[in-house]
């Protein structure tokens, strides 16, 4: 019989024939590993869920990259840039490019009855992320855009619709002010209502046909507030931003175009998301320490209860390393069982939250209305490989005590 089967055989016998204390501690260690694994998996799922949800909602509302006239953020007068077909075609050939579409904006006050709120009217045309807004519709339809005759439809956020107390089919009035023109009023029909979960950010954003905003600003068909450019992923956004910035610099000519991305526009938000990485790291470290301490305690008790058995094995010729592997197999068995149970618990909790959203959040504090969860098989696999490897390596410290057990002393009085 080879050494490894002998060690496995002894480990299984020890697992079946536990003492009273070692049995209780083994159960506690197994439960500790299960709880720690569940906490780690859920923590990472929430961290990645927050990032995924925030990135998806932000890029749906704001796009990855925006190209606008320089100084437009600080000038009360609406500034425009002239559309360039050559620029659009050159951007479309860049690596990681997904889409480019012009937009126009005008700030104003939208009101209905006695209620009023400040809001940004954004005009869009073919090519904007209609699939995103369609997936967020809670009532009605998307505004009709680029039709032969201009439609005065408007899409409101659920937060704004609630504040104005309006529903699909109602009329709302926009009041616009400008330093160079008198107060202007324009009415729109609410065609739909959307909700993203980002109540604070969606509140002031309304959508309509691009031509409606161009008319309000006194622009022609080739003038717009800028371009919205989408990358094929957040990881590629920075690379595409640099390439678009270079193209915008050349295309602007006498106009100076400003290129930014959502990370530039919302640095505090991305810094806040980065703190979740630190939180996840701290949680994983604490859970690993808790699981290790319980495993070490259980393993030491198992070893102390079997001092005579260890002495007998050594007297029969088993080497220290072989004896140590017996107890490492005992520890590995506890780790793997606890790991399996922990993954089942975590999987159940994640699926429950994903499909029911039972745990809610305050949108004012967290921007989202529920705790988001996400599973990426990459980090899940790395975590489930790292846990048994790290714990097994660290368990070699308490197992090393078996090398100090001498058969002449343990068998002296037998």
pLDDT in tens, 196-227: 877 677 778 899 999 999 988 889 989 999 99
Instruction: Of 396, 162, 402, 215, give the one whose Cα is nearest residue 303.
Output: 402
Output 53 or 403, whichever has higher pLDDT: 53
pLDDT in tens, 152-187: 999 998 888 988 989 999 999 988 876 666 678 889
Please give the pLDDT value at position 181. Answer: 62
Exposure string for 318-329, b = 16+ CB within 10 A, e = fewer: beeebbbbbbbb
Q: Which tokens sit at 124? A: 């869009």
Q: How far, in Å, CA of 239 to CA of 231, rounded?
A: 9
Residue 73 has pLDDT above 60, yes or no: no
Contact 156, 201 (CB under 8 A): no
Please give the pLDDT value at position 18. Answer: 56
Q: How far, in Å, CA of 264 to CA of 277, rounded?
A: 20
For 125-152, give the secondary structure using H, E and C.
Answer: CCCCCHHHHHHCEEEECCCCCCCCCCCC
Give 74's pLDDT tier (boundaries 50, 70, 90).
Answer: very low
pLDDT above 70: percentage of residues in the chain: 84
pLDDT in tens, 83-134: 888 999 999 999 999 999 999 988 888 988 878 888 889 999 888 888 888 8
* Inter-CA distances, 242 with 89, 109, 237, 304, Å: 17, 36, 9, 64
Instruction: Of 127, 119, 125, 92, give the one whose Cα is nearest residue 203.
Output: 119
Q: Calculate mean pLDDT across residues 254-269.
A: 84
Averaged confidence pLDDT in the chain: 82
Query: What DSSP letter does each residue of 356-403 carry, written as one string?
Result: H--SB--HHHHSSSB------HHHHHHHHHHHHHHHHHHTHHHHGGGG
Exposure string for 335-363, b = 16+ CB within 10 A, e = fewer: bebbbebbbebbbebbeebbeeeeeebeb
Q: Calculate mean pLDDT across residues 21-27.
A: 67
Residue 414 has pLDDT above 60, yes or no: no
The least confident of 196-210, 255-269, 312-326 is 312-326
Output 71 or 61, whichever has higher pLDDT: 61
> Can you tell me which residue has the tokens 């680029």?
146
Instruction: Of 225, 208, 223, 6, give the one whose Cα is nearest residue 124.
Output: 208
Q: Calculate mean pLDDT across residues 229-244.
A: 90
Please give the pLDDT value at position 97. Answer: 92
Q: Which tokens sit at 300? A: 């030491």
Instruction: Of 117, 123, 198, 127, give the one whose Cα is nearest residue 370.
Output: 198
Please give the pLDDT value at position 71. Answer: 65
Who's near 375: CB < 8 A, 6+ residues apart?
45, 350
Output 377 or 365, whichever has higher pLDDT: 377
Q: Calculate mean pLDDT across residues 57-63.
A: 84
Instruction: Of 223, 161, 222, 217, give the one whose Cα is nearest residue 188.
Output: 161
pLDDT in tens, 322-370: 777 777 777 788 888 888 999 999 999 999 998 888 888 877 667 777 8
Q: Calculate mean pLDDT across residues 44-58.
A: 85
Q: How far, in Å, CA of 85 to CA of 274, rounded?
A: 38
Contact 353, 371 (CB under 8 A): yes
| 376 φ/ψ sector (left φ>0, alpha ψ -120 to 50, else beta) | beta
Contact 136, 125 (CB under 8 A): no
Residue 388 has pLDDT above 90, yes or no: no
Please give the pLDDT value at position 288. Answer: 83
The least confident of 11-15, 74-78, 364-368 is 74-78
Q: How far, in Å, CA of 361 to CA of 272, rounded?
A: 16
Residue 235 has pLDDT above 60, yes or no: yes
Q: Calculate mean pLDDT across residues 249-277.
A: 82
Do the bridges between strand 226-231 and strand 97-112 make them parallel or antiparallel, or are there none, so unpaired?
Answer: antiparallel
Residue 267 has pLDDT above 80, yes or no: yes
């Amino acid at each position: 019989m080879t050494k490894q089967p002998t060690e496995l055989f002894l480990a299984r016998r020890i697992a079946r024939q536990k003492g009273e204390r070692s049995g209780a501690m083994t159960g506690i260690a197994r439960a500790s590993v299960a709880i720690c694994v569940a906490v780690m998996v859920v923590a990472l799922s929430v961290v990645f869920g927050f990032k995924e949800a925030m990135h998806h909602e932000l890029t749906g509302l704001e796009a990855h990259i925006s190209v606008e006239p320089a100084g437009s953020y600080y000038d009360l007068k609406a500034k425009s840039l002239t559309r360039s077909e050559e620029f659009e075609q050159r951007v479309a050939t860049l690596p990681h490019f997904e889409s480019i579409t012009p937009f126009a904006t005008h700030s104003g006050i939208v009101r209905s009855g006695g209620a009023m709120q400040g809001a940004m009217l954004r005009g869009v045309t073919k090519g904007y992320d209609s699939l995103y807004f369609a997936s967020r519709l809670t009532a009605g339809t998307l505004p009709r855009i680029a039709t032969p005759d201009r439609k005065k439809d408007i899409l409101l956020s659920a937060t704004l619709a609630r504040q104005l107390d309006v529903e699909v089919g109602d009329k709302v009035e926009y009041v616009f002010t400008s330093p160079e023109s008198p107060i202007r009023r324009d009415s729109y029909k609410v065609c739909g209502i959307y909700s993203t979960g980002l109540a604070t950010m969606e509140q002031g954003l309304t959508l309509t046909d691009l031509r409606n905003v161009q008319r309000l600003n006194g622009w022609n068909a080739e003038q717009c507030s800028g371009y919205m450019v989408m990358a094929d992923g957040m990881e590629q956004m920075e690379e595409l931003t640099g390439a678009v910035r270079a193209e915008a610099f050349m295309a602007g000519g006498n106009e100076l175009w400003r290129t930014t991305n959502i990370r530039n526009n919302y640095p505090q938000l991305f810094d806040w998301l980065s703190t979740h990485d630190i939180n996840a790291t701290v949680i994983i470290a604490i859970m690993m320490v808790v699981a290790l301490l319980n495993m070490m305690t259980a393993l030491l008790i198992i070893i102390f209860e079997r001092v005579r058995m260890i002495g007998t094995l050594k007297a029969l010729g088993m080497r220290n390393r072989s004896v140590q592997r017996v107890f490492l197999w005992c520890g590995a068995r506890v780790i793997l069982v606890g790991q399996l149970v922990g993954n089942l618990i975590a999987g159940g909790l994640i699926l429950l939250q994903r499909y029911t959203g039972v745990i809610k959040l305050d949108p004012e504090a967290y921007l989202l209305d529920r705790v988001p969860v996400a599973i990426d098989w990459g980090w899940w696999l790395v975590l489930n490989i790292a846990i048994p490897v790290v714990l097994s390596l660290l368990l070699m410290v308490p197992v090393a005590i078996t090398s100090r057990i001498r058969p002449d002393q343990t068998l002296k009085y037998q």
